[in-house]
A and B are shown apart, each in its own frame.
Chain A
Amino acid sequence: NAGVTQTPKFQVLKTGQSMTLQCAQDMNHEYMSWYRQDPGMGLRLIHYSVGAGITDQGEVPNGYNVSRSTTEDFPLRLLSAAPSQTSVYFCASSRRDSNQPQHFGDGTRLSIL
């Protein structure tokens, strides 16, 4: 059982480039979320989805887009990369029932030059 899989693990971009961070889960979880982790800041919620076709903004959504066409996949798109988006990005999924823990991928380490 793979759990939550994120690709790529590392990426270097130039300012202004766009890219998509991939996230896939094989647990049939309804909920999926994207967080970013910066040094000394903990994790902050970017976007989340409660099911296929439904997405919403979290705490820090600017500069990012998401879509959820299937239950399994929840890609995060950087539209025009900026140095402030240098971070470690984590995808998480959980069951729809309340009081359920989140399952995290191993992250994508992104550097914007």
Chain B
Amino acid sequence: SQQGEEDPQALSIQEGENATMNCSYKTSINNLQWYRQNSGRGLVHLILIRSNEREKHSGRLRVTLDTSKKSSSLLITASRAADTASYFCATDLSGSGYALNFGKGTSLLVTP
């Protein structure tokens, strides 16, 4: 069964605006990861946050994790048209590294 649920399912913004996507999950995790998928391509890893971390940054990306609420958020600042993609959160329940539970994704459209 799917562990994570992203919200919203779809998001449309203009270039330069910030995009925020949320992920909720059901059980305790070892880490939570965010991936991007461009149309017709495979998933690309964006950022991994461990269960004992609360916030991580990578370039224009900021991820937060609240284990008490079983939720995470991905913020993309100053969005660009090239950020148009689907974004997935994935939880690694045991730290196995080979068995991730993916959500259904948020489809982001950034218009010029």
Name A residues whose Cβ lies closer than 8 Å to a Cβ of B: 4, 31-33, 35, 40-45, 48-50, 58-59, 90, 92, 94-107
Which residue in B30, B98, B102 is a CB contact (below 8 Å) of A43? B102
Interface residues of B, dominant DSSP: loop
A104–B42 CB distance below 8 A: yes
Q: Are A48 and B99 in contact (CB under 8 A)?
A: yes
A-B CB contact pairs (8 Å), 18 listed = A31-B96, A32-B98, A33-B99, A40-B104, A44-B102, A58-B99, A94-B97, A96-B97, A97-B97, A98-B30, A98-B96, A99-B48, A102-B43, A102-B100, A103-B45, A104-B35, A106-B41, A107-B41
Give the contacts of B21-43 with A (CB-CB under 8 A).
Answer: 30-31, 33, 35, 40-43
CB-based contact A41/B45 at 8 Å: no
CB-nearest residue of chain B relative to A40? B104
Sample of 12 further A-B pairs with CB below 8 A, known A41-B104, A42-B105: A31-B96, A33-B98, A35-B102, A44-B2, A49-B98, A58-B99, A94-B97, A98-B30, A101-B33, A104-B42, A105-B42, A106-B40
B→A interface (CB under 8 Å): 1-2, 4, 30-31, 33, 35, 40-45, 48, 50, 88, 90, 92, 95-105
Partner of A94, one of B98, B101, B102, B104: B98
Contacts of B2 in A (CB 8 A): 41-42, 44
B44 engages A104 (CB within 8 Å):
yes
Nearest Cβ on chain B to A26's Cβ, whole angstroms:
15
Interface pair A101/B98, CB less than 8 Å apart = no
A40 to B106, CA, bound (A): 10
Q: How far is the CB of A95 from chain B (nearest CB, A)?
A: 7
Pick the most buried of A4, A50, A99, A101: most chain B CB atoms within 10 A of its CB.
A101
